[in-house]
Amino acid sequence: MADLTITTCTPVKIIEQHTGPAAAATAVGNAVYLVAASGAFGLADEDGSAPLNEPEGIAIKAALQANDTITVVKKGLLDIGNVLSALNYGAPVYLSDTAGKLADADPGNAVVIGEVWPSWGATTADKLLRVDL
């Protein structure tokens, strides 16, 4: 299992999104969960107990610090650059055991965050992250 290094996260098609405060600094492409006590978005963690390992979406806007506003995609297609190029279409993408990160293989608790999905704009399809949480 390897964490995916996401440096860009561009929405291609958004079906459901939410905007709210971040509980901590958050990078684009981080998986987040809803903090029950505050309603803010915290960094989801596969090896944490519920609700930490119940992701609510992927951040498409970064937060430099707690209480900065972020936007989270719960359902849709995201272009996260070339980090999915080694994976097959239809392959699952997992929540990592590193807070906020995604992984290319199951780190232990099999929390699926999305799957690799084709997007046709040329002769060869691009690989996008399909999120449906």
Question: Along the 133 residues of the chain, how does pLDDT read in single tens digits?
Answer: 689 999 999 999 999 999 999 999 999 999 999 999 999 999 998 887 777 788 999 999 999 999 999 999 999 999 999 999 999 999 999 999 999 999 999 988 889 999 999 998 777 889 999 999 8
Residue type present at position 57? G
Instruction: Indicate the pTM of the whole model.
Output: 0.91
Task: Report how many domains make up the chain.
Answer: 1
**Which residue range forms the structural domain that includes residue 57?**
10-132
Q: Residues for the chain: how many in total? A: 133
The pLDDT score that the predictor gives to residue 69 is: 98
Residues 6+ apart with CB under 8 A from 86: 104
> At 100, which CATH number?
2.40.300
- For the record, the structure tokens of 28 come out as 């684009």
Any domain includes 92: yes
